[in-house]
Structure 1
Amino acid sequence: MFAKLHRTSLSLSLGLLLAGSSAGAMAANAVPAVDTGAAPANQMVHVTLVLKLRNQAALENFIKQTVTPGNPNYQQFLTTSQFAAQYGATDDAIARVQSVLKQQGISSEVLPSHLAIRTSGSLSQYNRLFQTSVHNYVSRENGHSFHKPTSSPQIPSAIADVVDVASGLSNELTYRPHHISSSAFTSLGTQLPKTHALASSTGGSNGNPTATGVPGEYTVGDVANFYDINPLYKHGVVGKGSTVAIVTLSNFYPADAETYWSDIGLATKPNRITQVHVDGGGAIDGGSGETSIDVEQSGGIAPFANILVYDAPNAGNGYVDAFAQAVSDNIADSISTSWGLPEIFNFAALNVAGASNTDTSDAGDLRAFHAIFLEAAAQGQSLFAASGDSGAYDTVRDLGAGTAPGDYTAPLTVDSPASDPFITAAGGTTTPYSYAFGTGPTESISQESVWGWDYIQNYFNTYIGPNVINLFSVGGGGGVSVYWHKPFYQDFTSGVRRSEPKQSLVYNDPSAGPTTLLQLPSHFSGRNVPDVALNADPETGYIYVSTYDGGLNAGEGGTSFVAPQLNGITALLRQSTGHRIGLWNPQIYAIQNFFGYGRFSAFNSVRAGDNWFYYGAPHYNPGAGIGSLDVTNLDVFLRSGF
């Protein structure tokens, strides 16, 4: 077991919280980057063509049937070849696309799902194919170098009926890992002593033997205690026969996961990690700790499940390719990711020269992810994505927020790919604990609450001084999509919201004054996120091991812990039920809508706290979704066909 770490200081430096967008470079229409001229014509790049689905309405209906008890297609999931035959592009259509590519000298590889074609060629070849010109740019904000087309790429008319999205011509946007630390407020110039006292009896010797019972030093054993997983373990349900996959954008050291499991005293299946390096794989870099977290958490919750790690470069089409590979391989029963960026960063208003600031059409990869997620659902693969760590204002971690020249406003926004209706969005809570900072008194959170650090902000303002530090808007991501319409499974869900009015992304240009970059739709009946939530507050957070991050780390949190935990939970449910679980969302909303909360419920209502805008409630709320889990009860519902 790890020695106790006894943390004595809180949270995140302001520089880390509100630094510019090194992990989510803003589109050029926000702060115009410096055009340094045409990119070299002979530069080789990779572009993925995502193909249009056949019979998409029938596909979506089939997916509903696979997760509807009593339907003849209940749990009748497709193989990859069956998906290709029924819903992928036809052989003739693919041949036509490959012929056009060959005429330009571009090589191609078709995924077995017939959903995408990976291509490779020079920029001059792609410039001709898409009737555009790719230039190099340097960001005025942070010096980030990238290339992208100077005009919107045009799909050739000969294949426009087949090709939906061309992903990878731009490598401007990069994704952010959704974990966050609790370390020291360096901007205060001093450390703030803190004491912890556990306000519940679920840790250490009272439950799972691998638990610590110490907030900020929790393990997967504490997760088992919090969310009633231990009865499954006692019945031998440990993930045997299941495979989980991680889609990530950084490479990692697999030995870190083995060290974590070994040091908390967790017995695991040996030699169970397989790495799949997509497009050359991700780098060992600042995101490596994220990959370690994902593997340690998913594999720790399901200690005898196999683990596939699909890592790709954090640029261009890397993220799309990693997901497409994981789904097309169709080995994993469940897949999670802990990376994302604001949904609005995909909109034409922020990406297409001359686009109206009200244009919320997709000029990014929203449609590409959606097609891949539909395939996963048809194949019975459960998908999970972290909903973000910037509360109800998802752009703040990427862009900051303020009113001074060079600042952006902070509209209510959600994270992608978590906002897609065919993935389960993982939100965050704060579990009960007591705390004190500096010379202030001890205060407590007495019930599981929506995670938002305004409770710490209020404490600081009261006992340390107003506006000494700004924590806005750290918390569990949640809100209303303004791209994806409300899905069928939220139609009868109490608490689902529409988008708020008067939400705009405005840049306070130092020379031109306030410039409205995007006006978001008001009262849009959109998909609400998250769907479910588990403990994610770094103050009640976790330990993890990452060689890149210096070994053992404590006081870590973020919704990036929740997504892989749900992944591991799914592996347990897969073993217990004897079949893949499929898309969670229609099933969990149906269970909650019919059976509500109570002693035998699969869900715990999260009635307290907020994520800076949306408050906990005794029903669905865009802070914690339908609540946190009682995994043993959820297992009973799924095994009974509810």
Structure 2
Amino acid sequence: MRRTLSARVAIAAGSSAVLAIAFAAPSVANAAETGGRHVLNGKPAWAAQAARVGAVPASTGLNFKVVLNLRDEAGAEALATAVATPGNANYHKYVTAAQWRSRFAPTDAQVAQVTSWLKSQGLKIGQIPANHRYVTVSGSTAQVNKAFGASMSHFKYKGRTETAPSAALSVPTNIAGLVAGVSGLDSTLRAVPSTSTGNTTHSVSTDKATASTKVTSDDTLPGPPDVFINSGPCSSYYGEKKATGLPTLPGVTNPMPYVVCGYKPGQIRSAYGEDRLLKAGYDGRGATVAIIDAFASPTILSDAQTYAQRNDPSHPLRGYQFSQSLPASYNSIDECGGNGWYGEETLDVEAVHATAPQANILYVGGASCYDSDLNSALNTVVDNQLAMVVSNSYGDAGEPTSLADVADSHQSAIQAAAEGISLLFSSGDNGDEVADLGYRTVDYEASDPFVTAVGGTSLAVKSDGSYGWEQGWGTGKSTLTNGAWTPAAPAYVYGGGGGTSQLFTQPAYQKGVVPASISNYFGKGDYRAVPDVAMDADPQTGFLVGETQAFPDGSTKYSEYRIGGTSLSSPLFAGEVALADQVVGGPLGFLNPAMYKLAGTPTFNDIASTGVSQAEVRVDFVNGVDASGGLRTTARTINQTGTIFTRKGYDDVTGVGTPNGVSFFIGITASKKLGVGGGGVGGGIKHGAPVTAAKPLR
């Protein structure tokens, strides 16, 4: 999953936020003509630091994608920018998928030219989506090596056996202008959910070595994951219970409160000011939110329905509100952590339902956690216009060096914007990535300029459910050892992702809003800053979820636990966007240009506090199940964010801020007037024809 960014590719943004991506043309900077061949992907940067341990056997089967170029990428980006920019004559004049294909997709003849060459190399052609974004290919290692000059090899890297080409890939010059690159041959390119339950950021195991890249296609999904149970004491709202009797922690308010037990849907809606909308009938009905993750929990619908019944009984999840689109088979289950993804799916579904309780939810499962499979799942939603909002709670650590992998995702982001689909990605759970990777970077796909990156906060909800305060999510940890906190200055463990891209230059919508100290952090000019917006993500102020889990006695049953991460903030915000879509009676589309115009207004809570001043006490079962293995007591600080930090105005932890109740809906739906009647919470909201049919947008 880890990617080291070295050979960076600058992607320039013009004054109208149109991106001219270098890999869209055959004269790409890292391509070269050699002996009638056109060089595509270079050797992965990480492989230069790894020890090659041998060649992949010639008979080993490989599955991958040949990513194709758009016919007019600059024109496609110009269109996507125009329909998303307030004040533009084409604002919200979206195109259909059919119109998109007719203008920008590779033609049938171009696809045939590429597939004809692939077949001539003995390779087998698989799925080709309607928008001709890519060609799915399979074949033996020997065939791949011969066709692309791949030299597929095994490497020892960070304690794992990884697979990748040890030489640059190339194609014949006669198809070079059609091919962006080859995706799926690098086994490190797999995403991890942005979730946290315990002491580590990721609840998904990725420790198993990979023999090769995606060689299986008939794996059976495992049963429920092992149970995780929160210990007590904990608070039903922020600050309810104080950890009196424990030693003081320097630099924070003492006595510290115990962490929340897990906020429930009503608390989230109340704190973020959605109650007035729900009472007026704005609850997301008719809007569809798509969720994309790897694999699929076999108990997701019953779990989500049980959860709603127990924790939000006035808003049941009805069967007709939930649907799934799943692949015919799965692969690389062990490498991806298997059923560890079930908790991610559960969080996403239950969080969307919490903030948009009448919205329809479409779950689209990727065949694996590899980028190429998740991108295929995203393309399914975008090219069939299956949703108004898409939430993606996963990502890669750092930005890619592979142009093909950028193209595979970036083209979906452009098409989504042109069609009026709001595309959200979690900003990541490792802050500035210094502690995790050893250098400062943002994560992809959150850094894509056509994506709304959702960062994280720590949220205090009061006893009456009202908004207390928010700070940037950045957690330092000290453990109570022999009556003292060790270390005395809490060590950073995780936090909301953010910072400055080194791949994408600054989009027009960020100009004048993002300070130069952030956009030009690396001294090379203004670049894309992350995130764009934020919501609650801190596991200590996290969300209660419920799913079927496996208990030590061999039983499987429904159980609830607290969870956090930007995997929480993204689906929470997706639900808010679904409500806004209902308010205006249609899709708001790519949100960033409109949101940045509203920066500094009451539309958003400006998370401007700095420094570590709050901390919470957390007691955990050492074995994650019960007290038989002992208890661990830790202090978790708030707003310990490293080289990124909250400040007045835009910041690289929370973006332009968090949605500020009804003011958010007034601002984001500015094309219509939101009439909030007098009488406080009971006031009516009277405008906008509600979306009445849950169906694909055509």
CA contact (8 A) 2:133 2:408 kept: no
Tell me which of 34, 39, 51 is aligned to 2:68.
51
Say yes or no: does 1:113 pair with 2:153. Answer: no
Say yes or no: does 1:176 pair with 2:192. Answer: yes
Q: Give, in whole Å, the separation in 1 of the partners of 2:434 and 2:295.
A: 22
Q: Give, in whole Å, the separation in 2 of the partners of 1:469 and 1:200.
A: 22
Q: Secondary structure at the match of 1:236?
A: coil
Q: Give the structure 2 partner of residue 256 of structure 1.
A: 303
The answer to which of 25-34 and 104-113 deviates more is 25-34
Q: Give, in whole Å, the separation in 1 of the partners of 2:561 and 2:587.
A: 34
The superposition leaves residues 128-176 of structure 1 with CA deviations (integer Å, 9 ceiling, x where unpaired) of 2212222334x3543x344321212113322110111211122233221
**Structure 1 residues without counterparts, runs of 5 or longer:** 1-22, 186-190, 202-212, 348-361, 400-409, 435-444, 502-520
Cα shift at 1:104: 2.2
Equivalences for residues 285-300 of structure 1 within 5 A: 285-300=339-354
Q: Give, in whole Å, the separation in 1 of the partners of 2:651 and 2:530.
A: 8
Residues 363, 473 of structure 1: CA spacing in aligned structure 2 closer, same or farther, 3 A cutoff?
farther
Q: Give, in whole Å, the separation in 1 of the partners of 2:86 and 2:114.
A: 40
Q: Give, in whole Å, the separation in 2 of the partners of 1:140 and 1:67.
A: 42
Equivalences for residues 203-352 of structure 1 within 5 A: 215-252=260-297, 253-254=299-300, 255-264=302-311, 265=313, 266-278=315-327, 280-281=329-330, 283=333, 284-312=338-366, 313-315=368-370, 317-344=372-399, 346-347=400-401
Cα shift at 1:59: 1.9
**Structure 2 residues without counterparts, runs of 5 or longer:** 5-44, 202-229, 241-257, 552-557, 611-638, 673-698
Residues 524, 180 of structure 1: CA spacing in aligned structure 2 closer, same or farther, 3 A cutoff?
farther
Q: Give, in whole Å, the separation in 2 of the partners of 1:184 and 1:98.
A: 44
CA contact (8 A) 2:549 2:559 kept: no
The superposition leaves residues 512-547 of structure 1 with CA deviations (integer Å, 9 ceiling, x where unpaired) of xxxxxxxxx544521111111111111111111232
The superposition leaves residues 176-214 of structure 1 with CA deviations (integer Å, 9 ceiling, x where unpaired) of 1111125699xxxxx99866484589xxxxxxxxxxx98
Q: Give, in whole Å, the separation in 2 of the partners of 1:321 and 1:487.
A: 26
Q: TM-score, normalised by structure 2?
A: 0.71
Cα shift at 1:290: 0.8
Q: Secondary structure at the match of 1:267?
A: coil
Q: Give, in whole Å, the separation in 2 of the partners of 1:446 and 1:464.
A: 30
Cα shift at 1:579: 1.0
Residues 221, 155 of structure 1: CA spacing in aligned structure 2 closer, same or farther, 3 A cutoff?
farther
Residue identity opposite 2:469 in structure 1: Q
CA contact (8 A) 1:426 1:532 kept: yes
Q: Give, in whole Å, the separation in 2 of the partners of 1:146 and 1:135.
A: 8
The superposition leaves residues 208-259 of structure 1 with CA deviations (integer Å, 9 ceiling, x where unpaired) of xxxxx98241022222112111122112122221111111123213222222
CA contact (8 A) 1:430 1:537 kept: yes
Say yes or no: does 1:450 pair with 2:472. Answer: yes
Q: Secondary structure at the match of 2:654?
A: coil
Cα shift at 1:446: 6.7
CA contact (8 A) 1:388 1:477 kept: yes
Q: Give the structure 1 partner of residue 435 of structure 2.
A: 396
Q: Give the structure 2 partner of residue 412 of structure 1.
A: 440
Q: Give the structure 1 partner of residue 511 of structure 2.
A: 491
Q: Give, in whole Å, the separation in 2 of the partners of 1:412 and 1:132.
A: 31
Cα shift at 1:588: 0.4
CA contact (8 A) 2:347 2:545 kept: yes
The superposition leaves residues 323-366 of structure 1 with CA deviations (integer Å, 9 ceiling, x where unpaired) of 2222222111111111112224x23xxxxxxxxxxxxxx45612
Q: Give, in whole Å, the separation in 2 of the partners of 1:460 and 1:483.
A: 42
Cα shift at 1:498: 3.9
Q: Secondary structure at the match of 1:481?
A: strand
Q: Give the structure 2 partner of residue 375 of structure 1.
A: 415
Q: Give the structure 2 partner of residue 577 of structure 1.
A: 584
Cα shift at 1:317: 2.0
Residues 363, 162 of structure 1: CA spacing in aligned structure 2 closer, same or farther, 3 A cutoff?
closer
Q: Secondary structure at the match of 2:395?
A: strand
Tell me which of 473, 477, 487 is aligned to 1:467.
487
Aligned length: 538
Residues 214, 174 of structure 1: CA spacing in aligned structure 2 closer, same or farther, 3 A cutoff?
same
Tell me which of 457, 467, 475 is aligned to 1:429.
457
Q: Give the structure 2 partner of residue 531 of structure 1.
A: 532
CA contact (8 A) 1:84 1:115 kept: no
Q: Give the structure 2 partner of residue 354 of structure 1.
A: none
Residues 610, 529 of structure 1: CA spacing in aligned structure 2 closer, same or farther, 3 A cutoff?
farther
Residue identity opposite 2:167 in structure 1: S
The answer to which of 533-542 and 149-158 deviates more is 149-158
Residues 473, 497 of structure 1: CA spacing in aligned structure 2 closer, same or farther, 3 A cutoff?
farther
Q: Give, in whole Å, the separation in 1 of the partners of 2:2 and 2:57.
A: 22
Q: Give the structure 1 partner of residue 103 of structure 2.
A: 86
Q: Secondary structure at the match of 2:495?
A: coil
CA contact (8 A) 1:420 1:484 kept: yes
Tell me which of 103, 125, 135 is aligned to 2:143.
125
CA contact (8 A) 2:56 2:152 kept: yes
Q: Secondary structure at the match of 2:127?
A: strand
CA contact (8 A) 1:272 1:307 kept: yes
Residue identity opposite 2:388 in structure 1: D
Residues 225, 104 of structure 1: CA spacing in aligned structure 2 closer, same or farther, 3 A cutoff?
same
Residues 153, 417 of structure 1: CA spacing in aligned structure 2 closer, same or farther, 3 A cutoff?
same
Q: Secondary structure at the match of 1:427?
A: strand
Q: Give, in whole Å, the separation in 2 of the partners of 1:553 and 1:183.
A: 18
Tell me which of 370, 386, 406 is aligned to 1:366.
406
CA contact (8 A) 1:244 1:567 kept: yes
Equivalences for residues 191-206 of structure 1 within 5 A: 196=235, 198=237
Q: Give the structure 2 partner of residue 640 of structure 1.
A: 670
The answer to which of 420-429 and 150-159 deviates more is 150-159
CA contact (8 A) 2:234 2:259 kept: no
Q: Give, in whole Å, the separation in 2 of the partners of 1:71 and 1:140.
A: 49
Residue identity opposite 2:546 in structure 1: V
Q: Secondary structure at the match of 1:618?
A: coil
Q: Secondary structure at the match of 1:320?
A: helix
Say yes or no: does 1:480 pair with 2:480. Answer: no
Residue identity opposite 1:29 in structure 2: A
Q: Give the structure 2 partner of residue 17 of structure 1.
A: none
Q: Give, in whole Å, the separation in 1 of the partners of 2:349 and 2:645.
A: 31
Q: Give the structure 2 partner of residue 506 of structure 1.
A: none
Residues 556, 102 of structure 1: CA spacing in aligned structure 2 closer, same or farther, 3 A cutoff?
same
